[in-house]
Amino acid sequence: MTEPSKVERRSRRGGGRDARRTARASGNQGPAAPFITRQIAPVDILNDEACEIIENNAETILEEIGIDFRDDPEALVILREVGCDVQGERVHFPRGLARKLCSTAPSGYTQHARNPERSVDIGGMNTVFAPVYGPPFVRDLNDERRYATMEDFRNLIKLTYLHPGLHHSGGTICEPVDLPVTKRHLEMIYAHQRLSDKPYMGSVTAPSRAQDTVELSKILFGTEFVANNTVVTSLINANSPMTWDDTMLGALKVYARNNQAVIISPFILAGAMSPVSVAGTLAQTLAEALSGIAFTQAVNPGAPVIFGSFASSMSMQTGAPTFGTPEPAKVLYGCAKLARRLGVPFRSGGSLTGSKTADAQAAYESTHTILPTVMGGTNFVLHSAGWMEGGLVADYAKLLLDADQLTMMPKLVNGIDLSENGQALDALRETGPGQHFLGSSHTQANFEDAFWRSQMADNTTFEQWSSEGAVDSIVRARQQAVEMLAAYEAPAMDPAIEEALRAYIDKRTEELPDTDY
Amino acid sequence: MTEPSKVERRSRRGGGRDARRTARASGNQGPAAPFITRQIAPVDILNDEACEIIENNAETILEEIGIDFRDDPEALVILREVGCDVQGERVHFPRGLARKLCSTAPSGYTQHARNPERSVDIGGMNTVFAPVYGPPFVRDLNDERRYATMEDFRNLIKLTYLHPGLHHSGGTICEPVDLPVTKRHLEMIYAHQRLSDKPYMGSVTAPSRAQDTVELSKILFGTEFVANNTVVTSLINANSPMTWDDTMLGALKVYARNNQAVIISPFILAGAMSPVSVAGTLAQTLAEALSGIAFTQAVNPGAPVIFGSFASSMSMQTGAPTFGTPEPAKVLYGCAKLARRLGVPFRSGGSLTGSKTADAQAAYESTHTILPTVMGGTNFVLHSAGWMEGGLVADYAKLLLDADQLTMMPKLVNGIDLSENGQALDALRETGPGQHFLGSSHTQANFEDAFWRSQMADNTTFEQWSSEGAVDSIVRARQQAVEMLAAYEAPAMDPAIEEALRAYIDKRTEELPDTDY
């Protein structure tokens, strides 16, 4: 991986902050690992007895209350065939059936990237970071908040590609509203494929768009490779409470039948879309996830699938979603444990905030989400950088601020080195009371990568910081984004593949109507 | 506790943000508990076998390398008498001796406040938050960074008194450099005593000043009460590595002999004052803490004492201290476990940052410190609000931003409610697929205190936020500080006690020279 040094090499102004930033960047980063593997156990706040209560309640929901599968007669047929009690569109799962169906889901899978060094292993002790997903707006490099365009989409993919903190290119990093709804998915998928070599997500806004994603992936990876490997992971949100709609079910079926992965995600604003309690939200989330995962396995046993959970609290006074609060952190810790007990990978969390600007509120709330995400053992993290305003906005500056924080996570979860070198008894003997360790041979041998270093933080003195313009972190991040985008170079691609991708897109663009749905 | 509502009542401008803030404040806060008691286990990343390695290394440091006790011949006599091998000022503890001496230290203690409802229990599953300690500078309500004054000291004590997130008035909340060094401690102690009714810390800059703290406390609490109870907790920093100086030892002796509590705190910039590794820093911290705690018990067996640790990483390129990095978090988790094994309360962490302004960097770094602090099971937290610029600055705005975040911690560590009401199965039955929970009877019964609510975050829409001036969190915090200070009323005090305190201070001020040391 050569991007970060490429980016830094471009920094041509001499002295001051730029020189320091270059010095820092040439330091301990090294080639970034394609994902994180933890050495410490996930934080666990729900014991086995508590899990059994929640699991029992989820079974009660599935059996007694049931789950709606709407406007998709085929789904109802499939579910009836595997033993569900289907009444109208309401599907009741006899106690234990959903969990039994889930048992064919793999405990983890590899999502291949076109650059094999960037393929990610999703599940187990691993964590994969993907950027923000879904915002119709951006806050751009001029600090302007406006509707997102395809150019923003490409820029944010480029920044994600260049950043060592992000392992995955994500999906709808913003919604390019300047292209017709019917066609934009083609340019979005192509941008991921062409501008990055990290793994990516597929379209879910219509079954035909999911199919386009699969076809474009076949062109990029080869038809046989896609038949035998997972190259796309896509987001299937529940219409909580306890409802799946035909759009999501249709996309799910396309991906599952093609052995491509889906994230089955109850999407819950607790208090509105679930009970106003953590244990109630956990039971409902588990019931919805079980129903969706069971459905994928009914469609295609063994298809890769992730147990997802998006949970936010809401202000019970104004109805506004709130982030960085303790209740969603508890839902996350609990769901992560429930997913481990179910034996499937888990997705949740991110760097979430309701703030309108990348101020202290944004960073407090984001950190109060991403730390539980990582410490709780989440395997796939959407929204891990760039999310703003409750998901309405993708913020260029915050993408880099958050991603910088993500680069510390490998060191946070790798445990404590108890090797002889880690214990450093000789350094203690060599130095002794009242002396300093700066010149000790142990320090000299270890200082390069002893401590994680932020590439965005300013740790100079007040005097130096002031003399350089008293620039705060938002402004530093925007400066870095400008430099990175100017230095960006697309990863190489076989011209024949590039041509074939464009030909497919041009053909489909011709075929499809110009409508807004 | 009536302060917050008092503060809110003062908010006289109608509508908009103020009205909302008032509405929020009258909501779910209720009377704040005097400290936090956790229901979930502390995060533990150091297993018992690893602890034994670290503990063994600490014994090696104590026995083989030794600890310097400087310029305090009495300390050397005391330590020789309890079995140490004293060579010059270097004290060697035979293997196991320090730990054995520590066994008389209590596992916890109550620090009494003059308002009994604000007394705090330090140790066990409890966490107590105190504000920033030590900065010579403030960033004030005009966003000016300047030397701190006694007026700042009083203002920051008032804000701490008023804030439900802070349990403890702290100590040197800033250094009032407008008063002579010889006398300022008297006004500082008096400010804590008079302007707040929360527990406070004592002076440690000279043994005589520690004695003044004890004498003033006797006037406030009564001589007999102080003889039998702990009413002051004070900070004794090591001169790391492996050195105690006479100033700290002198203050320690005064407090220990008066049964007042001390925090024995190795103060370590890892890489400079300890080896550049987590395990090496843990062993050294433990050795220093053991030596200091053992000394307190040699001075007065049974005197209350806290195992302290202040650890930051440093930039090995520039020498600047860095905060919110993973290595200090690991030191904290490790030390907390070592303190639990030693059976004494633990102090560490806070809301630490190297940023110069309360921007995203400040909030990222602070949260990356305070969350491990709380999740790791820290009992006493200094610097939990207001710390800026690596401890050089006490920031009015950040004091309120951090303290607001602290108010979520009780809900973060109280576990998941699995009562029937918490499980909310009836709400799920009542609502069902595709409906919303806003009107359910369960929501109506629980919404008031279902979710923690920030008093500083803005969760309105972009449009509303913009129409109200697009105010970011620093500005909101400064506005709140102005309102709180204007609304402040000192807690009542018996005029005879007030007069006696002032008489003592006036006499001492007369006696003491006007010098700067």
* Domain layout of chain B by residue ranges: 52-95, 127-407
The pLDDT tens digits for B58-114 are 999 999 999 999 999 999 999 999 999 999 999 999 999 999 999 999 999 999 999
Task: Judge whether B216 and B497 are in contact, CB under 8 Å.
Answer: no
Q: Which residue of B lies nearest to A288 if distances are taken between CA atoms?
A: B433
Residue B65, C-beta contacts closer than 8 angstroms, at least 6 positions apart: A428, A429, A432, A433, B242
d(C-alpha A243, C-alpha B432), whole Å? 9
Cα four-point dihedral sign B492, B229, B131, B4: negative
CB contact under 8 A, A451 and B277: no
Measured between beta carbons, the chain B residues lying within 8 angstroms of A316 are 443, 447-448, 450-451
Cα–Cα distance between A505 and A254 in angstroms, integer? 19
Q: Of the candidates A360, A425, A437, which has its C-beta nearest B358's C-beta?
A: A360
Which element (helix H / strand E) includes A446? Answer: helix A441-450
Residues in A touching B324 (Cβ below 8 Å): 454, 457
- A446·B277 Cβ contact <8 A: yes
Q: What distance in Å separates the CA atoms of residue A238 and residue A383, rounded to the nearest whole number? A: 17
Interatomic CA distance for residues B98 and A274, integer angstroms: 55
- C-alpha angle with apex B183: B177 to B186, nearest 5 degrees? 105
> For residue range B235-279, what is the model confidence (pLDDT) as tens digits?
999 999 999 999 999 999 999 999 999 999 999 999 999 999 999
- What's the rounded Cα separation, in Å, for the pair A367 and A467? 30
CA distance A234 to A256: 10
Interface test with A, best of B49, B57, B276, B368 (most A CBs within 10 A): B276
Q: What is the DSSP string of A83-137?
A: T-EEETTEEE--TTHHHHHHTTS-SEEEEP-SSGGG-EEEETTEEEE------SE
- How confident is the model over B274-285, as a mean pLDDT? 97
Question: Please, which pLDDT band fits residue B328 given cuts at 50, 70 and 90?
Answer: very high
Residue A451: its chain B contacts at CB < 8 A? 270-271, 276, 313-316, 322, 325, 327
Average pLDDT, integer, range B150-170: 98
Query: Chain B residue closest to A92 (CA)?
Result: B433
The interface predicted TM-score of the complex, written ipTM, equals 0.94
Yes or no: say if B119 and B112 are a contact pair by the CB < 8 Å rule.
yes
Q: Which residues on chain A are in Cβ contact (under 8 Å) with B360?
A: 358-360, 362-363, 398, 401, 472-474
Residues of A within 8 A of B145 (CB-CB) are 462
B241 near B284, Cβ under 8 Å? yes
Contact A470 B356 (CB under 8 A): yes
Q: Residue A4 corresponds to which tokens in the numbers above?
A: 């970060």
In this complex, the residue of A284, A408, A442 whose CB is nearest that of residue B326 is A408
Q: What is the pLDDT along chain A (517 residues), one digit of tens a residue?
A: 333 333 333 332 333 444 444 333 333 344 579 999 999 999 999 999 999 999 999 999 999 999 999 999 999 999 999 999 999 999 999 999 999 999 999 999 999 999 999 999 999 999 999 999 999 999 999 999 999 999 999 999 999 999 999 999 999 999 999 999 999 999 999 999 999 999 999 999 999 999 999 999 999 999 999 999 999 999 999 999 999 999 999 999 999 999 999 999 999 999 999 999 999 999 999 999 999 999 999 999 999 999 999 999 988 778 899 999 999 999 999 999 999 999 999 999 999 999 999 999 999 999 999 999 999 999 999 999 999 999 999 999 999 999 999 999 999 999 999 999 999 999 999 999 999 999 899 999 998 889 999 999 999 999 999 999 999 999 999 999 999 999 999 999 999 999 999 999 999 999 999 887 7
Contacts A418 to B, Cβ<8 Å: 50, 53, 279
Residues of chain A in contact with residue B284, where contact means CB-CB under 8 angstroms, are 428
**CA-to-CA distance for B352 and B224, rounded, in angstroms?**
38
Residue of B nearest to A314 (CA): B451
Measure A418 CA to nearest chain B CA, in Å. 6
- Yes or no, beta carbons of A411 and B375 under 8 Å apart: no
Find chain A residues with C-beta within 8 A of B375's C-beta.
Answer: 43, 375
> Do residue A458 and residue B354 have CB atoms under 8 angstroms apart?
yes
- Tallying the residues shown for chain A, one arrives at 517
- CB proximity list for A351: less than 8 A, separation 6 or greater: A366, A367, A369, A370, A383, A384, A385, A386, A387, A398, A402, A405
User: Given A270, A275, A450, which is nearest B276 (Cβ)?
Assistant: A450
Percent of chain B with pLDDT over 90: 91
Q: What is the structure's pLDDT at B163?
A: 98
- The alpha-helical segments, DSSP class H, found in B144-277 are 150-162, 181-195, 207-221, 223-228, 246-257
Given an 8 Å threshold on Cβ–Cβ distance, is A326 in contact with B436? Answer: no
Question: What was the pLDDT predicted at B31?
Answer: 58
CA neighbor of B457 nearest in space, from A131, A270, A406, A390: A390
Q: Which residues of A touch B242 (CB under 8 A)?
A: 432-434
pLDDT in tens, A402-458: 999 999 999 999 999 999 999 999 999 999 999 999 989 999 999 888 999 999 999
Q: What is the CA radius of gyration of chain B?
A: 24
| Preferred mutation among A286, A325, A356, A392 to probe B, highest tally of B CBs within 10 A | A356
Which chain B residues touch A248 with a CB distance below 8 Å? none
Quick: pLDDT tens for B357-416.
Answer: 999 999 999 999 999 999 999 999 999 999 999 999 999 999 999 999 999 999 999 999
Distance from C-alpha of A193 to C-alpha of A490, rounded to nearest angstrom: 10
Inter-chain residue contact A277 with B389, CB threshold 8 Å: no
Q: Which helix (H) or strand (E) holds B59?
A: helix B48-60
pLDDT (mean) for B341-346: 98
Q: Tell me the per-residue pLDDT of A233-265, one tens digit each, with 9 for 90 and over.
A: 999 999 999 999 999 999 999 999 999 999 999
Phi-psi region of A302 (alpha: psi -120 to 50; beta: other; left: phi over 0): left
Of the residues A57, A361, A435, the best mutation for testing chain B's interface (the one with the most B CB atoms within 10 Å of its CB) is A361
Q: What is the average pLDDT score of chain B?
A: 93
Instruction: Kindly tell me if the per-residue pLDDT of B124 is higher than 60.
Output: yes
Closest chain A CA to residue B41: A45
Distances in whole angstroms, Cα of residue A227 to Cα of each of A192, A209, A264, B353: 20, 18, 21, 50
Contact B332, B309 (CB under 8 A): yes
Minimum-distance CB partner of A428 among B284, B421, B451: B284
Retrieve residue A506's tokens: 């041009």
Which of these, B358, B413, B359, B355, lies nearest to B381 by C-alpha position?
Answer: B413
Distance from CA of B329 to the nearest CA of A (A): 8
DSSP 8-state symbol, A63: I
Best of A62, A335, A416, A480 to disrupt the B interface by mutation (most B CBs within 10 Å)?
A416
Looking at the structure, give the CATH architecture of the domain made up of residues B127-407: Alpha-Beta Barrel (3.20)
Count how many pairs of residues, chain A against chain B, have C-beta atoms within 8 Å: 405
Q: Verify whether the Cβ–Cβ distance B356 to A451 is below 8 Å.
A: no
Tens digits of residue pLDDT in A60-96: 999 999 999 999 999 999 999 999 999 999 999 999 9
| Domain A102-408 CATH assignment equals 3.20.20.480 | yes
Q: What is the pLDDT at residue B32?
A: 76
From the list A317, A363, A433, which residue is nearest B24 (CB)? A317
Does the reported pTM lie above 0.90? Answer: yes
pLDDT at A384 (0 to 100): 98
Cβ count near A187 (within 10 Å): 16
Closest Cβ–Cβ partner in B45, B425, B447 for A271: B447
- Are the C-beta atoms of residues A111 and A345 closer than 8 Å to each other? no
DSSP per residue, B435-473: --STTSHHHHHHHHHHS---SS---S-HHHHHHTT---H
Cα–Cα dist A388/A126, whole Å: 26
Specify which residues A36 forms β-bridges with. A127
Contact B357 A411 (CB under 8 A): no
State which amino acid sits at residue B113: A
Angle (CA) A42-A47-A50 rounded to 5° is 135
Residues A197 and A118: their CA atoms lie apart, in Å, by: 7
> What letter does residue A305 receive in the DSSP assignment?
E
C-beta of residue A192 within 8 angstroms of C-beta of residue A212: no
With 0-12 / 13-18 / 19 or more C-beta atoms within 10 angstroms meaning exposed / middle / buried, residue A59 is buried
Q: With 90 as the cut, is the pLDDT of residue B10 above it? A: no
Identify the pLDDT of residue B25.
38
